[in-house]
Amino acid sequence: MAKLKTKETEVSVESFLNKIDNEEVHDSCKGLINIMKKVTGEKPKMWGPSIIGFGSYHYKYESGHEGDMCLVGFSPRAGKISLYVKAGSEKARPFLEKLGRHKASTGCIYIKKLEDINVPVLEKMIALSVKELKKMYPVK
Show pLDDT as tens, one digit a residue, over the chain (140 residues).
455 667 889 999 999 999 999 999 999 999 999 999 999 999 999 999 999 999 999 988 888 888 899 999 999 998 899 999 987 778 888 999 999 999 998 889 999 999 999 999 999 999 999 999 999 888 75
**What region, left, alpha or beta, does residue 77 occupy, with left being phi > 0 and alpha being psi -120 to 50 degrees?**
beta
CB atoms within 10 A of CB 78: 4
Q: Identify the helix (H) or strand (E) that includes residue 82.
A: strand 80-84
Strand partners of residue 121: none
pTM of the model: 0.91
CA atoms within 13 A on the CB side of 110: 8
Q: List the domains of the chain with CATH numbers.
A: 13-136 (3.90.1150.200)
